[in-house]
Structure 1
């Protein structure tokens, strides 16, 4: 595991309910070009990964985007966004994290609305 990584975890709720399959992406405001991301499990919990599963993200300032698509078994791709694109782009999302130099960053409970 890299020394410059901070483990990041939290929970995503959509309309006050745990949401499975929401993809989170961390967009660095400056510096790192690495893309850090995670996907929520059945209870809405997530861990962020950059280089390996659950390793977290580098210290820094991020805009966090969220997309809640559905799997299309015919095309074998993710399609749509049940959040209507409200959080899909870093210029639209109002959710920002300042990840400090620490072992673990708890992002807490993130409340999204459809």
Structure 2
């Protein structure tokens, strides 16, 4: 139970930083048109839930709020599927180019890996490393990015 409480506090503190809408998304003024973007993530050949997918716009995007959002984050569901969001779950993103970065802290290793700051991928899919994928989103053209195949980092010997 203690771990759940810590994760809830961490998520609530990080939401303004990672693109979670504050309060009711319907109250956000000047919303921009969005395009649905979906896909899936496989880790070592298996669909994997709980992968954190951070998507970073390349250059400016049309979406502006009181505090400019530099990146957004979603998590894959149990079958590895994801849908990008701007205001609410799965609503899509503004047109533009996005770099997709990934982190994964398996449930059985979460506390140990988060404390060390190293994810299952050994940091190879987070900045300043190259993104796992770059996508281009066009207004009105829903985008299925397909399956993104990721590999675990070799385990370090102790």
What TM-score do the two structures reach when normalised by structure 1?
Answer: 0.83
SS in 2 for 1:92: coil
What is the Cα deviation at residue 37 of structure 1? 2.4
Match of 1:38 among 58, 74, 90: 74
Q: Count the aligned residue pairs.
A: 111
1:7 paired residue number = 36
Q: CA deviation at 1:12?
A: 0.3
Q: Specify every segment of 5 or more residues in structure 2 that has no aligned partner in the other structure, as ranges.
A: 1-25, 62-67, 153-158
Q: How far off is 1:83 after superposition? A: 1.0
Structure 1 segments (4+ residues) deviating >3 Å: none
For the aligned residues, what is the CA RMSD?
2.3
Unaligned stretches of 5+ in structure 1? none
**Bigger relative contact order, structure 1 or 2, given CA contacts below 8 A and separation 6+?**
1
Higher helix share: 2
2:87 maps to: 51
Confirm or deny: 8 A CA contact 2:102 2:132 kept in the other structure: no
Q: Does 1:28 align with 2:57?
A: yes
Whichever of the two has the greater Rg, that structure is 2
Tell me: CA distance 1:45–1:94, structure 2 relative to 1, closer, same or farther (3 Å): closer
User: Offset of 1:50 from its aligned partner?
Assistant: 1.6
Partner residue of 2:133?
Answer: 95
Cα deviation digits, residues 15-39 of structure 1 (max 9, x gap) = 1101110011111111035333221
Shift of 1:102: 2.1
- Residue 52 of structure 1, CA deviation: 1.3
Q: Deviations over 1:44-78 (max 9, x none)?
A: 11111121111111110111100112443xx9x9x
The TM-score normalised by the length of structure 2 is: 0.62
